[in-house]
Amino acid sequence: MSESPSSLERAAARNLVKNYLRVKPGENVMVEAWTHTLSMSSAMVDEVRRAGGSALLAYEDDDAWWRAVDRRQAKPLGRLSDPEWAAVAAADVYVQFWGPADSARLEKLGQKDLDTWGDGWFDRWYKLARSTGLRGGRMATGWVTDSRVRQWGVSKQRWMKALLEGCLADPEEIAKSGKRLARAFSGTKKLRVTHPNGTDIEVALAGVPPRLYEGFPHPKDRAFSEYDMLANFPDGRVRVALDARRAEGRIVSNRRSYDETWFPWEVYSGGAFEFSNGKLTSFSFEEGESAFARNYARGTPGKDRAGSLTIGLNPKLDNVPYLEHSERGIIEFAVGRNAYLGGTNTSDFYGSVDLAGSEISVDGTPVVRAGKIL
């Protein structure tokens, strides 16, 4: 019989509880789990108690959830019980695991049904969490499901191991390198990205403060929206808005990227963006081009303009599905919306390519070289 939780799960949970969530003796911690996340959820509860906190494990059974879906009971799924609202109000710390496990079945429901189920509690939940200063995080290990593994063609064991190892990163180390980049990206400056694969693109920063996702929750920082106040585990990136009027050149990816407009269903690889006079003039992908083109065609104005640049900071991540953008030294270049970062692009479209091993310079001064943050 295999160990559960595993030693790696316990180590990851200990680092998250101690160094990211910083649970103190006597604090109340709420952990929301699904059937497929119980092992890591158990490790989190253990570590909360080890730190002297009081843990509440709220369990959602996958089969019971799907039976309600089959009965078309949107209203019960779209509201929280009074005891759960009371638990959220009393909690100091909150940990959420993604679910349910059958992500392919969830995709078939469509955004309309899922929006309906969220209407009864979503905004209210975040408003309450902001008002109480709730420190929380979302666990990416909940993404590791059989249906996603089949769809993305990855190893379930390696994916889970990579995510847990990413949770072992030192948040202070991530914060230190992120703050150094954030200082370099402050103000309105020219930024150039080059790579031997043919990438050579020059853009301009929008002149708004970069946003650092070092893995700490941000319940009181108004620079982070209510939906962005929770941390993601693992994480590690700095993201900055680009000037939507200025982009020239070509960027070619060597990592996967994903459709982030709703759930991470569509996968893109082998991508390239071409810009001229500030406008995206062409795009291509070896994988996922038809899906990208379909989403792009539906996008609102601004979809063909530079949106944002993300630099990965996590030294423990290496080509991990859906977290490529957090690998140290990688860049994610996006077109479309950046208003959530303080930019002027309000398009509803967001599309990106990821590139590892590039050189990035700001006003002619290198800040990243071959994946190393200088």
Instruction: List the domain boundaries for the chain.
Output: 7-166, 171-373
Which amino acid, one-letter code, is at 254? N
Q: Are 20 and 48 in contact (CB under 8 A)?
A: no
Helix (H, G, I), strand (E, B), or coil: what is residue 228? helix
Q: What integer best gives the mean pLDDT of the chain?
A: 92
**Computed from CA positions of residues 235, 304, 248, 259, in that sequence, does the dihedral angle turn out positive or negative?**
positive
Q: Which run of H or E residues covers position 295?
A: helix 289-298
Kindly calculate the radius of gyration of the chain based on its CA atoms and give it in whole angstroms.
Answer: 21
Is the link from the previous residue into 5 a cis peptide, with omega within 30 of 0?
yes
Token output for 3: 């160990």
CA gap 135, 116 in Å, rounded: 27
Q: Are 275 and 281 in contact (CB under 8 A)?
A: yes
CA 293 from centroid of its chain's CA atoms: 23
CA gap 94, 127 in Å, rounded: 14
> Exposure pattern of 32-53 as b/e (b: 16+ CB <10 Å)?
bbbebbebbbbbbbbbbeebeb
Choose among 44, 264, 25, 8: nearest CA to 137.
Answer: 44
CA 189 from centroid of its chain's CA atoms: 26
CATH class for the region spanning 7-166:
alpha beta
CA gap 207, 109 in Å, rounded: 40
10 Å CB burial of residue 141 (0-12, 13-18, 19+) is buried
CA 313 from centroid of its chain's CA atoms: 13
pLDDT at 210: 95
Helix (H, G, I), strand (E, B), or coil: what is residue 248? strand
pLDDT at 78: 73
Phi, psi (rounded to 5 degrees) for 136:
-145, 170
Q: What is the pLDDT of residues 323-344, one digit of tens each?
A: 999 999 999 999 999 999 999 9
Kindly give the pairing relationship between strand 54-60 and strand 28-34.
parallel
Token output for 127: 């408003």
Q: What is the pLDDT of residues 123-137, one digit of tens each?
A: 889 999 999 999 999
Torsion of CA 251, 271, 332, 96, to 10 degrees: 180
Tokens 């963006």 correspond to 273
Torsion of CA 344, 345, 347, 349, to 10 degrees: -140
Kindly give the pairing relationship between strand 54-60 and strand 93-97.
unpaired
Kindly give the pairing relationship between strand 306-312 and strand 257-258.
unpaired
* Per-residue confidence in pLDDT tens, the chain, 374 aa: 356 899 999 999 999 999 999 999 999 999 999 999 999 999 999 999 999 999 999 999 999 988 988 888 767 777 888 999 999 999 999 999 998 898 888 877 766 666 666 566 888 899 999 999 999 999 999 999 998 898 888 999 999 999 999 999 999 999 999 999 999 998 888 999 999 999 999 999 999 999 999 999 999 888 888 788 999 999 999 999 999 999 999 999 999 999 876 665 789 999 999 999 999 999 999 999 999 999 999 999 999 999 999 999 999 999 999 999 999 999 999 999 999 999 999 999 999 999 999 999 999 999 999 888 98
Phi, psi (rounded to 5 degrees) for 163:
-65, -45
Token output for 368: 């990243």
Q: Are 209 and 182 in contact (CB under 8 A)?
A: yes
> Which string of DSSP letters, residue by residue, matches 63-100?
HHHHHHHHTT-HHHHTS--HHHHHHHHH-SEEEEE---
